[in-house]
Amino acid sequence: MRNRYIHHINKLALVCGLLIFASSCKYKEIVEASYPDQKVYFPAAREGRFIINTVAEPGKPYRYVVDAGTKKFNVPLSVFRGAVNNSGAFSVNIHADNDTINSLITDGTLLNTVLLPADQYIIPASVDMANGAELASFTISINLDYLVANPGTQKAICLRLSGGNITTNPAMDKLIVIIDPAVLNP
């Protein structure tokens, strides 16, 4: 008799479980959420300044590459896309902002530093961000002979991002690159 009650209780528990399971399976439409707009920025700007004042150690990240054949001091940099999704391709403009460096030199923030002359470097006018990519790389090429011939003071350049249909992160759309030519004369 006792087994019979246990058998009925098990059946009742099974039926209750199925009813609960069936009633919990209701269709809910998931609405498309609105996410913040994509923003681009210099990841190197996170630390304020991108300073090149040491020789790269083997196996560690490097901040520059010397190309003796073309006599260029190349600084590899990148632009990053911050977003929930990485859809869409676009171009981001890059330009030098000499006023920022001149202002930092004038107010004494950058000591023993001079503005890198515009005829001594090449920066791309823009960088293309591919659809699905979150990073686009570019290089500043600086005249190596100029750096070697002028080792006494640091050289600085400020880069700014701007984009037509993409917004920039105002906290990191400006990158100050400071090069100490002494790294070239060990």
The CATH number that applies at residue 131 is 2.60.40.1740
Ranges assigned E (strand) in the chain = 39-41, 49-52, 65-67, 72-82, 90-96, 113-115, 121-122, 126-129, 135-143, 154-162, 167-168, 174-179
One-letter amino acid for residue 112 of the chain: N
Angle at 107 between CA 103 and CA 109, to 5 degrees: 90
Q: Is residue 90 part of a domain?
A: yes
Indicate the number of domains in the chain: 1
Percent of the chain residues topping a pLDDT of 90: 62
The range of the structural domain enclosing residue 88 comes to: 39-184
Q: What is the pLDDT of residues 61-116, one digit of tens each?
A: 889 999 999 999 999 999 999 888 888 899 999 999 999 999 999 999 999 999 99
Is residue 41's pLDDT more than 90? yes
Contact 49, 156 (CB under 8 A): no
Q: Is residue 145 part of a domain?
A: yes
Q: Is residue 25 part of a domain?
A: no
Is residue 155's pLDDT more than 80? yes
Q: How far apart, in Å, do the first and last CA atoms of the chain sit?
A: 96
Q: Is residue 177 part of a domain?
A: yes
Mean pLDDT, the chain, integer: 87
Q: Is residue 104 part of a domain?
A: yes
**How many Å apart are CA 118 and CA 171, to the nearest integer?**
25
Task: Tell me the HSE value of 133 on the side-chain side, using a 13 A CA sphere.
Answer: 15
Q: Is residue 14 part of a domain?
A: no
Q: Is residue 29 part of a domain?
A: no
Q: Is residue 11 part of a domain?
A: no
